[in-house]
Structure formats: C-alpha cells, structure tokens
Amino acid sequence: MKRVAHFSLGWSLAASLEEQEKDKARIKALLREIGLERKFNPNRNWCPIEVEVGSRAFDVLIQACGEGDVGHLGLIERRYTSRELESAPLLHWRFTNQAIEDDYYTLHFKEGQAKGISPYTRDCEVCGAPLEQVRDMWVRVQKMGKRDLSATYGWEVILSPRLAQMLRESGLTGFTLRPVWSYRKPYQGNPPLFQLVATSTLPPMAVPPTEFEEDWPRPRQCAVCSRTSQYIKHTHWWGRIQYREETPIYYPRQVLEVAQDFNRTAEYFGELRGSQPYLIISQRAYRWLLEHKIKGWTAEPIYLVE
C-alpha cells in the first residue's frame, strides 16, 4: 500500500497583483525544488500535485502548507497493489459512478405531490432514515448508457440486465436481484435494469482497531427508530494541517465463517437521512468482477484481527 498525498498549490485571484506575483514565484520555486517545474502554469491559479507520503517532495510541500502559504493538502489516498487486493479475503466494494441518479419520485417529488406514487423506501418519520424498501425503484433508465454497474445518489446498486444475468449464473452468494423500472412505464415488459440487494449481514466490525469520526456528532442515534449512523474516521492532522484520509475497516477473523460473496455491514454510514450500510465482497466476488471486466467499481482490503 502506498499513501499518495494530493496537494494543491495556488494563489488567490482576490489578492493584489503584487502578492499574486510573489505567490507565483514561490510556487515555481517549490516545483523546481521537487523537479516538477513543468507543472507550473502562470495562467492557472491552482496546480494539483500528487506525491508519495514520506518522499522528499512531500516534505517540501507540507512545509508550504502553513497559514497564508501557497500549499493545501486535501487528501491522502491509500493505493493498494494488486497483490494486496488479491490476498484480502474480504474487500470493501465501492462505486465510481452515480449515473443512475435516484428513484425518480425521490428525486423530483415531495411526499403527496405525485398522485398515487409513494417513495420507494419507508422512512423513519423523525430522522428520515430509510428503514425498508417498499416498491421497486423507478429511474431514468437512459442515464445508465452502456454501463453494467452504477450506484444511485442513495448508493443503491443498479445493474444492466446483462450483468444481472451473469450474476444469476455465477454461483456467487449473498444477494438477490430486484427489478428496476423506467419511471415512464413502470412494471411493463421486461425490467430494463436490476437492483442488487445484499441479503447477508455481517457481524459488527472490530472496534478498535476500526475507528469512527469523533468530531462529527458521535454515533448519532434516532430515539424513535433507533437507527445509528456514523462515519469511518477520515479527519486527521499533520501538525496544524487538517486533511482527509479514510482509515481501514477491521473484522474479527471469525467473520469468514459467516461471510458470503456479497454482504452488507451491520453498521450504517452517513447522515441518518439516507444512511446505508457498506457493501463487503469476498475475494471470489472480487476476482469474478475483474475476470468479467466489470467497470464502475473499486475495492479496498478489509483487515482481519484475531
């Protein structure tokens, strides 16, 4: 695994011309120092730079991130090698597009506005958490294009009929498929898309070492529906510089005795309204998705502890 820092070097267009020139000169000097002078563009007031944490370039750039200086560290990203990914028994399955926006009703209507249609989830009346799916989703199908896999804004997993059929024949476990309809003509003909619903729920994560955000109002729980939702820890400090880095998820090793190929976490994430579990896939499912060249997702290893 390597940690890649995403810096941005820039100057404020609201500053005086003199100050802007000073900042440009400083950025140019910093880029020269780390051998990336070619990245300097005097006509663009921000310059994204990726460097590995621990490298000399990182040391140089982090020094330029103090208050009023030209650097900003936004994110440290963890990049895993194929070998690390191929040796993880379980992986966190994440989606890289949200082409299918959301259920059409949820997106465009408030409750009571569209006659005879109700939201596709039954939500808690107090916190708004989706508690149960009560009808098939109706979406703007053409947004899927030629994709096989898309998430919605609410992180529901949408599949092309091709991928749905392949999964049905795959022998992979822990999921069911639900039709997804065009909002223009729901329940007519063959479903134009499908929703993958994970049916296997994992036991709780190992906490610690799994860490959750503390600054964010901690495990937020609704007194009425008792849904609890949180965030995996991602706020960190490098001295006085705040940046974002997702921390890993850990499970007790015994999780392997119950995990299927597709699983949902017992924990919910995000704001209560719209809170969703994460999806965790087996190594077998990971390889299947790779072998069948399915696009639109990425995965990160889950760590096991004794």
Task: List residues near Zn ion by CB under 5 A.
Answer: 124, 126-127, 129, 222, 224-225
Alpha-carbon distances of 292 from 105, 162, 166, 188, 288, rounded to whole Å: 33, 11, 9, 30, 6
Q: Which is nearer to Zn ion, 57 or 124 (CB)?
A: 124
Residue 289 belongs to what H/E stretch?
helix 283-291
Backbone angles phi, psi at 84, to 5 degrees: -65, -40
Q: How far apart are CB 116 and Zn ion at their closest, in Å? A: 26
Q: Which is nearer to Zn ion, 127 or 198 (CB)?
A: 127
Single out the residue of 170, 188, 126 nearest to residue 260, CA to CA.
170
Q: Which is nearer to Zn ion, 66 or 219 (CB)?
A: 219
Single out the residue of 144, 133, 262 nearest to residue 193, CA to CA.
144
Q: Which is nearer to Zn ion, 98 or 221 (CB)?
A: 221
Q: Give me the count of residues in the chain.
A: 306
> Coil, strand, or helix at residue 182?
strand
Torsion angle in degrees (nearest 10) through CA of 133, 135, 141, 147: 40
Q: Which is nearer to Zn ion, 222 or 241 (CB)?
A: 222
Q: Which is nearer to Zn ion, 64 or 124 (CB)?
A: 124
Q: Which residues, in sequence order, are CB contacts of 91 under 8 Å at separation 6+?
A: 85, 280, 281, 282, 283, 286, 299, 300, 301, 302
Q: Which residues, in sequence order, are CB contacts of 194 under 8 Å at separation 6+?
A: 158, 159, 160, 161, 163, 164, 177, 178, 179, 180
Q: How far apart are CB 279 and Zn ion at their closest, in Å? A: 22
> Coil, strand, or helix at residue 63?
helix
Q: How far apart are CB 125 and Zn ion at their closest, in Å? A: 8
Q: How far apart are CB 272 and Zn ion at their closest, in Å? A: 6
Q: How far apart are CB 275 and Zn ion at their closest, in Å? A: 9
Between CA 215 and CA 222 the distance in angstroms is 18
Q: How far apart are CB 201 and Zn ion at their closest, in Å? A: 19
Q: Which is nearer to Zn ion, 129 or 202 (CB)?
A: 129
What is the β-pairing status of strands 241-244 and 235-238? antiparallel
Q: How far apart are CB 4 and Zn ion at their closest, in Å? A: 38
Q: Which is nearer to Zn ion, 224 or 266 (CB)?
A: 224
Single out the residue of 22, 27, 29 nearest to residue 7, CA to CA.
27
Q: How far apart are CB 220 and Zn ion at their closest, in Å? A: 10
